[in-house]
Amino acid sequence: MRPTWQPEMYDPHNVGPTWRPHMATGLEWQDQRHQELLNKLDELCQAVQYYAGASVVNGLLDFLDDYSQSHFRQEEQYMARNKCGSCAEHQQCHELFKVQLHDVRALYASQGPSTLVILKLQTWLRRWLAMHILTLDRHLTDSASPEQQSRPQP
Ligand SMILES: [Fe+2]
Ligand SMILES: [Fe+2]
């Protein structure tokens, strides 16, 4: 029988979509927030393995509320300063994320931390990692100075 999930059991080097050097943009403030998001998703994946995904949902949603405000604002200000060409498209994706977060929150309010809520969070955040962090976010430095463009290889 599996032991009961405890937050102290979270191992940032275990299963799930852990941080890899090729994910970095080279902007420390940005990479730090992306790592935090990945760690939160990884924590959810690990908790699910112990049938305890429900115990981390509320904290994850609170984290996402803050992330979708403070981190997106940081990126949008950076893009505006550097006159980034894809700023409008990027900003639209951020707005879509906020709408999706609102929808997951609404589901959570009606069902609590159900299996459906947990599955939606896992699927949605994995997709966000692939479709946003590893694509649009990685191009954030394209219009920046050369030293800001350094990007470690995998
Ligand atoms: Fe972004
Ligand atoms: Fe980002």
Q: What is the DSSP string of 7-64?
A: GGG--TTSSSS---GGG--S-HHHHHHHHHHHHHHHHHHHHHHTT-THHHHHHHHHHH
User: How many other CB atoms are there within 10 angstroms of residue 70's CB atom?
Assistant: 10
For the chain, the domain total comes to 1
Measured in angstroms, how far is the CA atom of residue 4 from the centroid of ligand 2? 33
The model carries a pTM of 0.83
pLDDT digits (tens, 9 = 90+) for 9-58: 666 555 567 788 888 888 999 999 999 999 999 999 989 888 888 999 99
d(CA 111, ligand 2 centre) in Å:
29
What token pair was written down for 34? 């992306």
pLDDT at residue 21, rounded to an integer: 84
Q: How far is the CA of 5 from the centre of ligand 1 (A)?
A: 32
User: Tell me, what's the pLDDT at 15?
Assistant: 55
Ligand 1 centroid vs 21 CA: distance in angstroms? 18
| Ligand 2 centroid distance, CA of 146 (Å) | 20
Residue 60 domain flag: yes
Residue range(s) defining the domain that contains residue 128: 28-141
Ligand nearest to the CA of 23: 2
Please indicate, yes or no, if residue 124 is contained in any of the structural domains: yes
Report the CATH number that the domain containing residue 61 is assigned in CATH. 1.20.120.50
Distance of CA 90 to the CA centre of its chain: 15
Closest ligand to the CA of 91:
1
What's the gap in Å between 128 CA and the centre of ligand 2? 10
Task: State the average pLDDT over residues 121-133.
Answer: 93
Stretch 123-135: mean pLDDT, rounded? 92
Q: Tell me the C-alpha distance between 84 and 105, whole Å.
A: 32
Residues with CB under 5 A from ligand 2 (ion): 137
* Ligand 1 mean position, distance from CA 1 (Å): 41
Confirm whether 105 is domain-assigned. yes
148 Cα to the center of ligand 1, angstroms: 17
